Amino acid sequence: MIRFFDAFCKSIFNKTSDLLLFTQACDTFSADDFVCPKCGRKHACSNIQSYSRHLISYENATVICCRISVRQVQCSSCHSIHAVLPDCLVPYSSYSFSFILTVLHRYFSGTKTIEDLCLHFQISVSTLYAWIRQFQKHKRLWLGILQDGETTAIFFLKELLSGAFSPDDFFSTYRFSFLQYAFTTFSNSS
């Protein structure tokens, strides 16, 4: 997977739709400019195909679901294939980054009950709690244990939304995206 970061801050400050951000980011993406995440070779990636997935966003107090086409590139050196995902998407999730942050902000603000939040955003209670756990885990990872204990979730969200924390810094440090579930592959070697 190739992640590129630029759209997130634009979406927060300009209130641009996630679909438009995704489209603009994909239009400006040049495969030749990126380094292969697997072998590290520069200028070796080229466009090959795309796949379809859902993008669920929240605009004008409405949940919007649309289909998008995610570009894939292949490295000419190691032949690995990578999906190209701008920062408005959370890897392995249909929900946009801003959608999840909006839900979490409302949750930590305490303005609605869990039932009302889930009904309004059309998500299950288990999805909400999974996002809360992932947010708290990544917040602690990002800030460190001491600073995490001193920083409320709502303050951290406000700082994140203001641009004080950059999702690309988190990705650069940990090699997975903020709010992304880090999957572990297990093999049976017996």
Ramachandran category for residue 163: left, alpha or beta (phi over 0 → left; psi -120 to 50 → alpha): left
Distance, C-alpha 111 to centroid of its chain: 25
Question: What's the mean pLDDT in 102-127?
Answer: 94
For the cut 90, the answer to whether the pLDDT of residue 63 exceeds it is yes
Six token digits for residue 38: 């697997």
Contact 102, 20 (CB under 8 A): no
In terms of pTM, does the model score above 0.75?
yes
**130, 175 in Cβ contact below 8 A?**
no
Span 117-168, pLDDT tens digits: 999 999 999 999 999 999 999 999 888 888 989 999 999 988 887 777 777 7
Q: Which two tokens stand for residue 111?
A: 């303005």
Give tens-digit pLDDT for 9-37: 444 545 678 888 888 888 888 877 888 88
The Cα–Cα gap between 128 and 15 comes to: 23
